[in-house]
A = this chain, B = another copy of it.
Amino acid sequence: MSRITSVRVRDVRFPTSRQLDGSDAVNVAPDYSAAHVTVTTSDGESGQALVFTCGRGNEVVAAAIRSYGELLTGHSTDALIHDLGGASRLLVHDAQLRWLGPEKGVSHMACGALVNALWDLRARREGLPLWLLLSRMAPEELVDAVDFTHLRDTLTPQEALDLLRAGQQGREERIGLLRREGYPAYTTTPGWLGYSDEKLVRLSRQAVADGFGMIKLKVGGDPEDDRRRLRLAREAVGPDVRISVDANQRWESGEAVERVRALAEFDPWWIEEPTSTDDILGHAAIRRGVAPVKVATGEAVANRIVFKQLLAAGAIDVMQIDATRVAGVNENLANLLLAAKFEVPVCPHAGGVGLCELVQHFSFFDHAAVSGSMEGRSIEFVDHLHEHFTDPVRVVGGRYAAPEAPGIGAGMHAESLDTWEYPDGDGWQADRSGLHREGAGR
């Protein structure tokens, strides 16, 4: 019988802070990083996943994945990947480890990496990309994978089953459409806070030329800088391309309302992370204050329980799930079902390292078998670091092409893992000696 024999974790970092790629009002100089995990079985199968971080601390996530990984070692592979709900509970509800969260932060991200590696193993065995595996799983099996703990006052297993059964109608037609036409993307590439005005304008124009219907700008620094940058971007893209803005939790809730109103003349589509994503009541107040500008959040939302409340309180217009913040595919199933119940569109957070590769699957699945709609929906895209992945995203004409490679998308080239392993990979040794300062990680 196949068993889990090893959990290997690698601390991989890219020196992106050298060029301020990814810079915003809070993450001023991130080194985009991944705690990358490979779960191997006695039969030689493997599943891969990762947790994205901003650099320092990647070693802590790696340590947490190793600790949780001990709970999987020795288990039957089949038992785990054919009861992924049980596999998630084994990790998330471990009676001693649970104290570290519960269900939030480092420990939760570590659970997510291992859960995702098991999904990757399952999808590879079935020869399917994750989204297609999910789209063709029976609604009953999907519901079994969801952890309804602390959700049942808002979403019952029966309601979830009803939503998924309704999503079966027209599923194959939508799968065909997704494979032919892809799924809408928007781009954050032009809008990093560390970029010059010239670079902002040039990349904004390029985004329109590339077919994107929305760009996103980082805000939350000096108010006049925000206004100038938004004016420049609006002039560059014209009136018909949407511009969203992202404050990365920089503001107090009252301040957020004032700051967003001050940008109203440039017609922002949504304000993202106006304040702490722990602040459900704050988001609700901001949403009331900034309408018709929409409120979006999610990349830092710790778990399904916080999303449940953001939706129930009418605090968000757009749910932004993240592939590596929560406890893996299972918890994002819960998040998609919550969004479907409240009829709130999901526009996943991406960028970083591998987040585009992973998170695209949820939007494709959502369209194929849950919401069945693309209305107001798009997947974030940032053109960074894809070359390190064995199955990089393909974004053409402002749309993600349907991923067709088996798995969840976390496979990285051995050379990338070796070169950028921190602190001793060749890339980091060269960086320290000054050789790699230009073009680092590109």
Contacts and interface: CB of A to CB of B under 8 A. Distances in A.
Given A104-B104, A153-B253, A252-B153, A57 B279 contact: no
A109 to B, nearest CB: 8
A285 interface: yes
Interface in A273-297: 275-276, 278-282, 285
A107 B285 contact: no
Interface in A244-298: 249, 252-255, 275-276, 278-282, 285
A177 interface: no
A276 B303 CA distance: 11
Contacts of A282: 150, 153, 309
B98 A26 contact: yes
A280 B308 CA distance: 11
28 contacts: A27-B96, A27-B99, A28-B95, A29-B95, A30-B95, A53-B96, A54-B95, A54-B96, A54-B99, A57-B64, A57-B100, A59-B63, A60-B60, A60-B63, A60-B106, A63-B63, A64-B106, A103-B278, A104-B278, A105-B105, A105-B302, A106-B106, A150-B276, A153-B285, A278-B302, A278-B309, A279-B308, A282-B309
A241 interface: no
Q: Which of A31, A99, A100, A254 has the most CB of B within 10 A?
A: A99
Contacts of A275: 150
Could you say how many copies of this chain the assembly holds? 2
Given A54-B96, A150-B276, 6 more contacts: A54-B98, A57-B100, A101-B104, A105-B108, A281-B312, A282-B309
A313 to B, nearest CB: 6
A54 B93 CA distance: 13
Interface residues of A, number: 60
Contact of A104 (B29, B105, B153, B280): B105
Interface in A94-120: 94-110
Given A95-B29, A252-B153, A107 B278 contact: no
Interface in A57-97: 57, 59-61, 63-64, 67, 94-97
Interface string A21-37: 00000111111000000
A133 to B, nearest CB: 29
Nearest to A281: B309
Contact of A57 (B59, B103, B107, B254): B107
Interface of A: 26-31, 53-57, 59-61, 63-64, 67, 94-110, 149-150, 152-153, 249, 252-255, 275-276, 278-282, 285, 300, 302-303, 305-306, 308-309, 312-313
A314 to B, nearest CB: 11
B60 A64 contact: yes
Nearest to A62: B63
A56 B302 contact: no
A302 B152 CA distance: 22
Nearest to A308: B279
Contact of A67 (B59, B302, B313): B59
Contact of A105 (B107, B253, B306): B107
A104 B276 CA distance: 12
Nearest to A106: B106
Contact of A53 (B30, B99, B309): B99
Contacts of A29: 95-96
A32 to B, nearest CB: 10
Nearest to A70: B56
Nearest to A99: B54
A53 B101 CA distance: 10
A54 B252 CA distance: 35
Nearest to A256: B153
A313 B249 CA distance: 21
Nearest to A31: B96
